[in-house]
Chains A and B, each alone.
Chain A
């Protein structure tokens, strides 16, 4: 799957489970995770599906908050999070600022991982776990690989350049419930 221009966030028939818009702050991760898990448990009887979604949410949110700070254009709605139910599937959409200079590298990485087979992504995950070392931000690049792996590659993304320094990064991850 490659870059999708003008990523559509949701279909009109999607059921909104939980949303958050606001300043990115570490304290919000706990609240978003807790509320999302509570709502999911009400909707979904299969605990394995809830766990898979929460696993992906942990990775997505911690990835954003570990890498998406210190921006000059951060405003009161600079981070957006939506969790939808679409038929039997679940969709997580996030929107956050990243540095424009990092966009090209992120596109390269995402496209390379998304082009991989399930076996390839497992191999890359394991080799990054073994050889990746510790980055000062904690994850050593494993987070992105892990999200794609757990979502079986059902990920779309989009970038919007805001100015020379800042771009918006939109991510949509579909978790299939079968």
Chain B
């Protein structure tokens, strides 16, 4: 399957989804008013990916800001990987946050608490 690339903007993240390596990277800002336009194509790609996933899937989140509607979509995306994890595949989330950025650290804690896949919090 083809990889998914989306360039970032002032309000939307740069997204790279690599079907071969299993590395999914979200970086920048995710504060669109309409998150559905941004995330529905991503979900569609992921639904295809989990049919024939890579051996290891690593989800790298390095966001500066994200709004609440983006957090709903992030959770929906992680839920799909949870299903993959349940089938015995290796899945991990690497949640990056800047030193002293308590809000982003707190958000990483939220996902770690909610999800049943490993969520690693990494300071950069």
Chain A positions within 8 Å of B, measured between CB atoms, are: 26, 29-30, 34, 46-48, 51-52, 54-55, 58-59, 62, 65-66, 122, 125-126, 129-130, 132, 134, 138-140, 142-143, 146, 150
Contact = CB atoms under 8 A, between A and B. Distances in A.
Contacts, number: 69
B103 interface: yes
A142 B68 contact: yes
Contacts of B36: 134, 138
Interface string B82-123: 000000000000000010111110000010011000000000
B10 interface: yes
B82 to A, nearest CB: 12
Interface of B: 10-11, 31, 33-36, 64-65, 67-69, 71-72, 75, 98, 100-104, 110, 113-114
Contacts of B71: 129, 142
A142 B72 CA distance: 9
A29 B34 CA distance: 13
A52 B71 CA distance: 16
Nearest to B99: A48
Contacts of B101: 48, 51
A150 B102 CA distance: 10
Given A29-B33, A129-B114, A138-B35, A55 B65 contact: yes
A58 B33 contact: no
Nearest to A141: B68
A65 B69 CA distance: 14
Contacts of B104: 51
B65 to A, nearest CB: 6
Contacts of A30: 10-11
A126 B100 CA distance: 22
A138 B114 contact: no
A62 B100 CA distance: 25
12 contacts: A48-B101, A52-B103, A58-B31, A58-B67, A66-B33, A122-B110, A129-B71, A129-B114, A132-B72, A134-B36, A138-B69, A142-B71
A26 B35 CA distance: 14
A52 B102 contact: yes
Given A130-B75, A138-B33, A138-B34, A54 B114 contact: no
Nearest to A145: B68
